[in-house]
Every structure is written in structure tokens, then in C-alpha cells.
Amino acid sequence: MTPALTTIRKWEEIPFFPNPNEEATYWAAHQLDPALMAGSLSLTEGQDSTSITLRMDPRMLSRLKRLAARRYLNYQSMMKQWIAERLEKELPGA
């Protein structure tokens, strides 16, 4: 019988992998929560989006970009995911 996979419920739970072998070993024992995957899908088809300007400390932006790169994400997409997740926590009925 195959052992149950550990479910990842937050993106922060995924570690940085120094090499592909360690990443393969990790994913052999872990899986992403379906809700986490659903939240990462882009649902912009047919929806308008608005561009905004956000001033940020350059060091903070560098850290965001590095973190996003480790997760194979665009840093702006990662920030939108974080905001969407936080909105779900703050506005549960919305």
C-alpha cells in the first residue's frame, strides 16, 4: 500500500530546492491542496483589470522577486495571490 501524501496548504510550506533530485524526492511525498491550486489559477478571462502604481522599498522588491523566482512565479502574480488570500481571510462572506 502506498503511504498517504502530505498535503501542502500554503505556498510558504514549499522549501527551496538546491537541485532537481531533492525536488523530485520532496514531490514524491507531497501534494498541493486543491484549494491552493484553484486559488492560483488566473480567472481574468472576460474580466477587466486595472493597473496600479505601488511605491516600495527597493530591498523589499528584490526580496519579493527572489522569493517569487524560487517558486517559479512572476513576482506581480505572487503579490496578487497573496492579496487575494488575505482578502479571503479578512472578508469571509465576500
pLDDT tens digit sequence for 49-84: 788 899 999 999 999 999 999 988 899 999 999 998
Residue 43 lies in a domain: no
Kindly state the percentage of the chain with pLDDT values over 70. 86
Cα separation, 50 vs 47, whole angstroms: 10
Using a pLDDT cut of 90, give the percent of the chain over it. 31
* Run of H or E including 6: strand 6-8
Residue 41: pLDDT above 60?
yes
Within-domain flag for 5: yes
60 assigned to some structural domain: yes
Instruction: Give residues with Cβ within 8 angstroms of 12, minimum separation 6.
Output: none
46 in any annotated domain: no
Structure confidence at residue 45 (pLDDT)? 57
Domain with 18, as residue range(s), is: 1-38
Residue 76, domain member (yes or no): yes
Number of domains present in the structure of the chain: 2
User: Both 59 and 89 in a single domain?
Assistant: yes
pLDDT at 6: 92
